[in-house]
Structure 1
Amino acid sequence: MEKITSSKGKQILIYATLFLVGIYVLFLSLVKASSFLIPLATATILALLMIPLSRRMEKTFLNRSTSSLLSTFIVLLVSVGFMALVSMQVKTVVDDWPQIKETMKPKVENLKAFLLEHTPLNAKDLESSDQGSGGFLMNSNSNAGQKAATFLNKVLGFFGDYLLTFIYLFFLLNYRHRFKKFLLLLFPDSKRHKVQSVIENSAKVTQKYLVGKLILIGLLAVLYAIGLGISGVNNFILISLLAAVLSLLPYIGNIVGFGLAMIFGYLVSGETGILIGIVLTFTVAQFVESYILEPYIVGDQVDLHPFFVILAVIIGGMVWGIAGMVLSIPILAIVNVVFDHISPLKPFGFLLSKEKD
């Protein structure tokens, strides 16, 4: 009896060790292959978003290649327009930065006085931190060439991945039936009908979720822009766009968006009316999002539990940085849809969902 118990214990230990090693190798591989996987994952999400539009085009006189090319071009135009709008708003912030810096200087001094009075920090600590940041900037000048080369490599890498995403998107849309047939061929004839049903249902639900999220972001941007514009916040268009896009990161994105509004709104002007306007805008927008827009636009197509949402965002950030944080929720949503439509995996779907115990 003792031998049986000890052998089972060893077996459990071996399986647990293999599981942990497998998880470590998986995440290490995801990090190492990020330059390949991030554009491919982004293109896959965008392809699921654009499939309905491509199908509508194909019902007309357009063939699949032309519809795929047009769908890819539409996404490219939207992304370029968004980046141009953000760039123009960032330029206004850069142009106004000297004035913003002068306006914020008294508030920084007040903050230092508060820290000196209510924390263990002393004047020498604050001076050393300022000198440390200044020293860092001084030292950075000596490595100007190296830093410029690093920045150039990052810019080239970004635009390379950016263009590669649209190349992947075109091929995923154009050859989507081929990929679907490949998945069906992996299973025996007796199970292909069920597999095809799972693929189609998962794709439909995921498309509804992604389209709903896109509409939700647009409506939130309008709500934020109206509220922040009336409140008198500078650069309210940029803040509204960023806050709306950051809603892709539940909880975290809302906090960051509110922080940006506070920095460029209240801290720059110091007016109490703007502070009240920012708080009211985000309070009303969050209420409308949670109780009106989210249920009726996105619905319960993908009902993820908040704990696993936060966990996915954190893990995505650790693995792929900002791109991982943005992609983590759609990927988790797709995985959850697949779990819900495959009987042996339904317990995992229940674990990820917000269903009551």
Structure 2
Amino acid sequence: MNYSKLRKTNIVLITLFAVLAGLYFGSSFFEPFAFAAFLAMLMVPLTKVFERKGTGRIISSFISTLIVFLGVSGVATLLIYQLGSFINDLPAIKEAAEKLMQQLQEYLYSVSGISPAKQMQLLQKRSDDILGMLQEYLTNFLGGLAFTSFKFLLVIIYVFLFLLNRDKFVEVVLMYVPKEREAKAKQSLHEISEVSYHYLWGRIKVMTALAAMYLITFLAFGTPYAVLLTVFGALVTIIPYIGPFISGVLPVCIMLVFQNNFNTVLLFGTIILIVQLIESYVLEPIIIGSEIQLSPLAVIVAVIVGGQIWGMTGMILFVPLLAIFKIISDKTASMRPIGYLLGNKKQMQVRE
């Protein structure tokens, strides 16, 4: 057994755990910092286009940052407006939900023989608790927008500074690399930038296509809160595995509450399932492709660990962060077993 390699691997793992601890305890700083870094990588190609047309570095960086600000602000404003309307309609939603429960009671009584009075006691308490928690959560969400807005402004400032000083970051990394490995380091930095850009831009295109399919489906079936469900359903799919499930279940639940015809709800649910299959097995492979060369297990672990450390932001960012870590592992001799472990099946077959 090569104890030297094992020792190096142990050092890497200990360092990794230390980094994760630092990310957890320093989340107030690292979370907006990392988010801004990925957004800056996304906007670098557009910034270079402006610079090639003769616009200076400062103006190009400012225009790209302004585009990010207007895009995120527009989506957030639409989502907040729709959420406000949804909160105001919660009493009507509760009334419609109670009608649905009465229908369920009749069905359960015919199947199980449990009296409607006993069912009412159980269901009424549950429905009040669920709607109360939902209203409290949404109210707290809207109430915490001031802090969220501050963090967003901090992200925007970071994006501008990243774009403005992007060459310095590359130069600093190269200062720590020996001359004979400089070309390899530049290639690694290029791959990291490409992975981040293609993943984020591909996600945006997939979310846009998914939003269009959702909106057409919701309008065709007359689904209440169609715009809210479309925006939320598209945004939440950026979280691998968990997001698509939530985006599909929520509109079906809304239709169950407001639609009396079960066959219509069943058809609606079937179409939503088809839309999600198109998104997962057609759009993602074509648009995003194989840029994130991670195994499904590695992606799930990244989502869970990211959620524990940074919450929703971590569930989004830890997948591309893990992909970057894998690139670094593949380029470092002592860390190649870790990169092999994180890789997908296709990569394993190639290495074999």
**TM-score, with structure 2 as normaliser:** 0.82
Are 1:126 and 2:122 an aligned pair?
Answer: yes
Alpha-carbon distance change, 315 to 95 in structure 1, aligned in 2, over 3 angstroms:
same
Specify the code of the residue in structure 1 equivalent to 2:214. Answer: Y
The match for 1:101 is 94
| Cα distance in 1 for residues equivalent to 2:20 and 2:192 | 25
2:146 to 149, 156, 161: 156
Does the C-alpha gap of structure 1 residues 175 and 255 become closer, same or farther in structure 2, counting only changes over 3 Å? same
Moved more, 207-216 or 55-64: 207-216
| Aligned amino acid, residue 95 of structure 1 | N
Q: Which amino acid aligns with 1:338?
A: I
The one-letter code sitting in structure 1 at the alignment partner of 2:31 is: I
Equivalent residue for 2:295, pick from 298, 305, 309: 305
Deviation at residue 37 of structure 1 after TM alignment: 0.8
1:292 pairs with 2:288: no
- Please give the alpha-carbon distance, in whole angstroms, between the structure 2 residues aligned to 1:162 and 1:74: 14
SS in 1 for 2:345: coil
Once residues 128 and 293 of structure 1 are traced to their aligned partners in structure 2, the CA distance between those partners, rounded to angstroms, is 42
Residue among 200, 215, 223 paired with 1:210: 200
Q: Is the 8 A contact 2:32 2:155 kept in 1?
A: yes
2:52 aligns with one of 59, 62, 65:
59
* Residue number among 135, 149, 155 corresponding to 1:165 in the alignment: 155
Q: 1:228 to 1:337 in 2, by over 3 A?
A: farther
| Residue ranges of structure 2 left out of the alignment (5+ in a row) | none
| 2:35 aligned partner, one-letter code | T
Amino acid at match of 1:172: F
Contact 1:233 1:274 in 2 (8 A): no
Structure 2 residue 79 is matched with structure 1 residue 86: yes
Taking the aligned partners of 1:124 and 1:207, their CA distance within structure 2 comes to: 53
**Aligned residue runs from structure 1 range 1-16, under 5 A:** none
Relative to structure 1, is the Cα distance of residues 19 and 55 closer, same or farther in structure 2, using a 3 angstrom cutoff?
closer
Structure 1, unpaired ranges of 5+: 1-7, 141-146
Q: CA RMSD in A?
A: 3.4
Assess, with a 3 A threshold, how the Cα gap between structure 1 residues 163 and 271 changes in structure 2: closer, same or farther.
Answer: same
- For the 8 Å contact 2:39–2:159, the answer to whether it is kept is yes
Note if contact 2:292-2:320 (Cα within 8 Å) is conserved in structure 1: no
Distance in 2 (alpha carbons) for counterparts of 1:218 and 1:181 = 36
Give the match for residue 143 of structure 1.
none
Shift of 1:209: 2.3
Q: Distance in 1 between matches of 2:234 and 2:341?
A: 28
Of residues 232, 236, 239, the one that matches 1:246 is: 236
Asked if 1:322 is matched to 2:312, the reply is yes
- Please tell me whether residue 190 in structure 1 is matched to residue 180 in structure 2: yes
Measured in 2, the distance between the counterparts of 1:118 and 1:170 equals: 65
Q: CA deviation at 1:243?
A: 1.5
Give the Cα separation in 1 of the matches to 2:221 and 2:120.
Answer: 39
CA distance, structure 1, for counterparts of residue 15 and residue 343 of structure 2: 25
Residue 110 of structure 1: CA displacement? Answer: 5.3
The CA deviation at 1:211 is 1.3
Shift of 1:124: 11
Report the Cα offset of residue 201 of structure 1. Answer: 2.6
Is the 1:231–1:277 contact (alpha carbons within 8 Å) kept by the matching residues of 2?
no
Deviation at 1:250, TM superposition (A): 1.7
Contact 2:302–2:322 at 8 Å: present in 1 too?
yes
What is the match of residue 43 of structure 1?
36
Q: Does structure 2 retain, via aligned residues, the 8 Å contact 1:228–1:281?
A: no
Task: For residues 250-295 of structure 1, give each alpha carbon's deviation from its aligned partner in whole angstroms, at most 9, with x where no partner exists.
Answer: 2211111112112222222233244134323322222222332112
Aligned to 1:276: 266
Identity value in percent? 28
Return the TM-score normalized by structure 1. 0.81
Could you tell me whether the CA contact under 8 Å between 1:205 and 1:337 is conserved in 2? Answer: no
Q: CA deviation at 1:39?
A: 0.3
Change (3 A) 1:281 1:344: farther
How far apart, in 2, do the equivalents of 1:250 and 1:20 lie?
Answer: 25
Code of the residue aligned with 2:49 in structure 1: it is R
Amino acid at match of 1:201: E
